[in-house]
Amino acid sequence: MTQKISAAIVGYGNLGKSVEKLIAKQPDMELYGIFSRRDSLETDAAVYPVAEAAEHKDKVDLLFLCLGSATDIPEQAASFAENFTTVDTYDNHHLIPAHREKMDAAAKAGGTVAMISTGWDPGMFSINRTIGEALFPNAQQNTFWGPGLSQGHSDAVRRVEGVKAGVQYTLPKEEALQAAKEGRGDEITGANAHRRRVVAVADEADQERIRQEIVSMPDYFEPYETTVEFVSQEVFDREHQGMPHGGHVITSGDLGGTHSSVEFTLELERNPDFTAASQLAYGRAAVRMAREGRTGAVTVLEVAPYLLSTASLDELVARDI
């Protein structure tokens, strides 16, 4: 029987809680504990001071970095990679090359594997963009996000004075989706392919001012088509507490006189649960690569699919090829 993977978690927000929940469902993993700055957490798992994490490195095969991309991962991830095989969900797309370089140096110094930028975008979408583009000599490719709740945009809404509660949903436009499928996506941009729906709670006297502040907010809402709906706190609490998300990667092109398209779609009831599922699968691959002697940073584009599965390669070949 293959030795179980001893896994630990750093960070216990939405993602960390989802990772904990899903580790319990893996036949090849067991939770060693959670490293935290807090003395106690609402969990039955062992909790250890994050400052003392390195003292546990000989007992942990895999460390899930469930930390924020804004500051936590850039500031902390490399120090963890020096002592542990890690897997993160870093999602600042244009900074991923720099993150990769930093994690590669740290992991090679520590003799570990640092699996970076797992999740769905980057992650699942990255793989499908690469496969789709490879199929067509002159590929037309478009990525759509949603329908789903954007945590960053929701935070921007809540920072507007007078907003008591608020969320923002990103919604792809059907006409843009259809244009992409038909190979007419060359003029599609993020702004003309999506609309933004804001749902907020505020006093009636403040609503028009709040609406104008939101729709004119640069980068976040302007120049997008944005609607702002005001609801009662009761309705907000009942209907807007979930964290759905998803999206599409659509690639199309001409294949010697015929047109084809490839579409990858995600529909997620709860974003952190799916992100955690991807993180676990790539964590499994990271451990397998580490046990084979690989060191350094690894992206999702470099991982053979069979390494993600709990099944053996022979089983997968017999079943799926």
Residue ranges with strand state E in the chain: 5-10, 29-36, 47-49, 62-65, 86-88, 113-115, 140-145, 148-149, 165-172, 194-201, 225-230, 245-254, 259-268, 296-298
Q: Is the pLDDT at 2 greater than 80, yes or no?
A: no
In a shared domain, residues 10 and 116 = yes
pTM of the entire structure?
A: 0.90
In a shared domain, residues 41 and 76 = yes
Residue 130, domain member (yes or no): no
Determine whether the annotation assigns residue 37 to a binding site. yes
Residue 175, domain member (yes or no): yes
Sign of CA dihedral 79, 81, 82, 83: positive
Q: How many domains does one find in the chain?
A: 2
Domain membership of residue 13 as a residue range: 5-122+272-320
In a shared domain, residues 103 and 208 = no
Percent of the chain, pLDDT > 90? 90
Q: What are 161's two structure tokens? A: 């004075």
Determine whether the annotation assigns residue 170 to a binding site. yes
Determine whether the annotation assigns residue 66 to a binding site. yes
Q: Which of 280, 285, 309 is nearest to 23 (CA)?
A: 280
From 103-112, 139-148, 186-195, 203-212, the region with the lowest mean pLDDT:
186-195
Q: Is the pLDDT at 151 greater than 60, yes or no?
A: yes
- 229 bridge partner residues: 199
pLDDT given for residue 190 in this prediction:
85
Determine whether the annotation assigns residue 265 to a binding site. no
In a shared domain, residues 89 and 192 = no
Determine whether the annotation assigns residue 155 to a binding site. no
Determine whether the annotation assigns residue 67 to a binding site. yes
Determine whether the annotation assigns residue 32 to a binding site. no
Determine whether the annotation assigns residue 69 to a binding site. yes
Structure confidence at residue 39 as a pLDDT band (50, 70, 90): confident
| Long-range residue pairs from 304-309, CB within 8 A, at least 24 positions apart, any chain | 308/281, 308/282, 308/284, 309/281
**How far apart (Å, rounded) are the C-alpha atoms in residues 43 and 47?**
8
In a shared domain, residues 154 and 221 = yes
Determine whether the annotation assigns residue 38 to a binding site. yes
pLDDT given for residue 264 in this prediction:
97
Determine whether the annotation assigns residue 284 to a binding site. no
Structure confidence at residue 321 as a pLDDT band (50, 70, 90): confident
Q: Is the pLDDT at 1 greater than 70, yes or no?
A: no
In a shared domain, residues 239 and 286 = no
Determine whether the annotation assigns residue 89 to a binding site. yes
In the chain the first and final C-alpha atoms are separated, in Å, by 25
In a shared domain, residues 296 and 231 = no
pLDDT given for residue 69 in this prediction:
87
pLDDT given for residue 220 in this prediction:
87
Determine whether the annotation assigns residue 92 to a binding site. no
Residue 135, domain member (yes or no): no
Determine whether the annotation assigns residue 294 to a binding site. no
The string of pLDDT tens digits covering residues 167-224 is 999 999 999 999 999 989 888 988 899 999 999 999 999 999 999 999 999 988 999 9
> CATH number of the domain that 220 lies in?
3.30.360.10
Q: Is the pLDDT at 67 greater than 70, yes or no?
A: yes
Structure confidence at residue 313 as a pLDDT band (50, 70, 90): very high
